[in-house]
Amino acid sequence: MKDSTSELATEISPFLYLEEVTATAVEAGKLILRHRRDARVIAEKGDHGKDASPVTAADLESNECIINHLKVLDPDIPIISEETQLADYETRKSWRRFWLVDPLDGTKEFVRGSDEFTVNIAFIEDLEPVLGVIYLPAKKLLYYAQKGRGSWKQAGRRPPVQIFSSIPDLGQGLTVVESRSHPSPALESYLKDLPIKERVAAGSSLKFCLVAEGLADIYPRMNPTMEWDVAAGDCIYRNSSRLGQRSSSLTYNKPSLKNDSFVIGLK
């Protein structure tokens, strides 16, 4: 593992690009942490009003770090990031392979002082996330997966451990993980007919990871998301099965990159 991941153990297997990408996520996370005492919103983008997405200096610095490292890995692979200008669909639609990046997922949580913000990096191949890395800088917690190689969790200096999820038994009741920042009447309507045992609120892409490691059964999201919000977590979730892959309805490289509602974990 590179020097920038000295806080993490070195036992990560040399999957395609994985060592470099995990090192990049950790380096970006360190840059983000430098801004914790001055986490001011410097711009907003997207829809106006309550759904506008905040931007901080940490978002931009993390983005620059990740983009620069991915270009060194292979300058011919396109990169889609939340903080860079999006290529039009006519250009993108022929892409077979590309990176999908959210340099600081959970900016609202970051600004509020919560620890639940992440660095998300995914590699998309043939419209499927085949590599996913999520790093929680404030917790020194790393999740990663590659298609066919399983999903893994690494806490600080400890060795990585493989994580698993399974289709829940409705008769036992469901543990639901939901967005801390995006409650909705649609979510309440969806949940009212399910046997709910517990509801857990969490921020950022951490919600995917909680399902992937079996700490939650399902993650329903009724509010819109963008592909960079979900790709790394979706990869980690998909590859958390003990046999084959978990089912996911999420799709990639759509004309708008916007996702409507989705539920992961039931199948």
102 marked ligand binding residue: yes
- 8 A C-beta contact, residue 44 and residue 52: yes
Residue 40, judged by CB atoms within 10 A of its CB (0-12, 13-18, 19+), counts as: exposed
Three-state DSSP class for residue 170:
helix
106 marked ligand binding residue: yes
74 marked ligand binding residue: no
CA–CA distance, 107 with 56 (Å, rounded to integer):
8
Q: What share of the chain is helix, strand, coil (3-state, %, to 5)?
A: 30, 30, 40
CA–CA distance, 134 with 22 (Å, rounded to integer):
8
**Which amino acid would we find at residue 262?**
F
Closest alpha carbon to 56 in 68, 43, 45: 43
126 marked ligand binding residue: no
82 marked ligand binding residue: yes
CA–CA distance, 79 with 51 (Å, rounded to integer):
25
Residues ≥6 apart with Cβ < 8 Å to 14 = none
Partners of 133 in beta bridges:
121, 144
100 marked ligand binding residue: no
Rg (CA), the chain: 17
Which residues belong to the annotated binding site for Mg(2+)?
A: 82, 102, 104-105, 229
Which residues belong to the annotated binding site?
A: 82, 102, 104-107, 229
Which residues belong to the annotated binding site for substrate?
A: 82, 104-107, 229
